[in-house]
């Protein structure tokens, strides 16, 4: 093909392409044109192929023409595409009348986990009583988890809490009491602290899990007595269960780090009692161990299981769903 012929066919191709683009009335039609005009088999591509083997002079002339035509067609194509898209969008809006009889599709929202909710609720009650929140490590030295709490290595109380040992001296904390020790060592009394967190015990059935949550409270000040402890727990329990006439009883018990120690049970309408927490006056060896003079200061401590209290409040008997991460269960719980 001569240069003139090539130029002529390029011109006529551009003309017909231009007309087809202008006549197109849908994006689908335009997409087809895109292949015909710019695709591998189009006259534009053919011309470019011929150019490869042509003389430098011819290549220059035709190359420039080719680019000019191509750019013109590309501009026209993208402008037309934009216009037709807009038109189609408007028509679809007009035709697409919403069907208001359809039930709305509500996106499924997450819900706060009951354990978190209980921790927040309890923390807020104690915050109003002036308690400060503290956090401690979950991997703990056994000296802090046990020894500092008056549980030496030979002590039978170590077997009360089935422990996960990471090595001879390191455990997964079996209770949040480690935070009490750490805070007592770091800060001077008076102290009024609350420490929520995860604890671990090698135990698993419908009412025991190897990981669960505890909240522990500690008050150290001058002239703190057992009656302060009773008042604090009574106030807390009636606020938590939303029942100012809540009946409860305090039973003597044993914990190595408190003396005297007690357990608190709450009463149900049928007259039965259920244990909700452990407590007591901080043992003088624990005070001494953390550098607090037991002649000057006394204190009380209490510890409760978060899942246990949640189960009581919501009347749930199985502990396992707490750890299943089942969105339906979590949401249904929130509707209680
Ligand atoms: N740390 C005890 C436990 O986990 C609970 C407790 C805390 C008891 C403070 C008395 C005082 O079993």
Pocket test for ligand 1, best of 163, 215, 286, 301 (most atoms within 8 A of CB): 301
Closest CA to 58 of 116, 10, 100: 10
Q: Taking the mean position of all CA atoms in its chain, how far away is CA 323?
A: 14
Q: Tell me 229's DSSP state.
A: H
- Strand-pairing partners, residue 252, are 262
pLDDT given at position 1: 65
Per-residue pLDDT of 151-196, as tens digits, reads 988 887 676 668 899 998 999 999 999 999 999 999 999 999 999 9
Q: What is the whole-number distance in angstroms between the Cα of residue 304 and the centre of ligand 1?
A: 7
Q: What is the whole-number distance in angstroms between the Cα of residue 199 and the centre of ligand 1?
A: 12
Q: Tell me 312's DSSP state.
A: H
Task: Indicate left, alpha or beta for 251 from its phi (over 0: left) and psi (-120 to 50: alpha).
Answer: beta
pLDDT given at position 334: 63
Per-residue pLDDT of 255-287, as tens digits, reads 999 999 999 999 888 888 889 999 999 999 999
């Amino acid at each position: 093909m001569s240069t003139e012929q090539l130029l002529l066919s390029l011109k006529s191709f551009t003309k017909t392409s231009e007309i087809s683009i202008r006549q197109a009335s849908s994006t689908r039609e335009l997409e087809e044109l895109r292949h015909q005009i710019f695709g591998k088999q189009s006259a534009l591509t053919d011309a470019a192929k011929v150019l490869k083997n042509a003389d430098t002079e011819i290549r220059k002339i035709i190359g420039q023409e080719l680019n000019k035509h191509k750019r013109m067609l590309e501009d026209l194509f993208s402008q037309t595409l934009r216009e037709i898209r807009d038109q189609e969008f408007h028509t679809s809006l007009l035709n697409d009348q919403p069907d208001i009889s359809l039930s709305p599709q509500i996106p499924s929202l997450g819900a706060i986990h009951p354990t978190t909710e209980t921790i927040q609720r309890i923390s807020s009650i104690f915050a109003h009583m002036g308690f400060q929140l503290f956090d401690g490590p979950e991997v703990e030295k056994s000296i802090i988890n046990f020894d500092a709490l008056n549980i030496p290595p030979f002590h039978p109380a170590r077997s009360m809490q089935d422990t996960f040992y990471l090595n001879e001296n390191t455990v997964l904390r079996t209770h949040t009491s480690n935070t009490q020790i750490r805070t007592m060592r770091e800060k001077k009394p008076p102290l009024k602290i609350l420490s929520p967190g995860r604890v671990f015990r090698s135990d698993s059935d419908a009412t025991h899990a190897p990981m669960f949550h505890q909240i522990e409270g500690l008050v150290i000040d001058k002239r703190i007595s057992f009656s302060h402890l009773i008042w604090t727990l009574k106030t807390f329990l009636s606020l938590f269960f939303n029942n100012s006439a809540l009946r409860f009883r305090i039973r003597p018990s044993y914990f190595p780090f408190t003396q005297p120690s007690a357990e608190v049970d709450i009463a149900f309408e049928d007259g039965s009692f259920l244990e909700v927490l452990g407590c007591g006056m901080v043992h003088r060896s624990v005070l001494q161990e953390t550098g607090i003079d037991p002649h000057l200061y006394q204190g009380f401590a209490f510890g409760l299981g978060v899942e246990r209290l949640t189960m009581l409040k919501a009347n749930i008997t199985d502990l396992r769903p707490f750890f299943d991460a089942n969105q339906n269960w979590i949401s249904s719980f929130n509707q209680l």
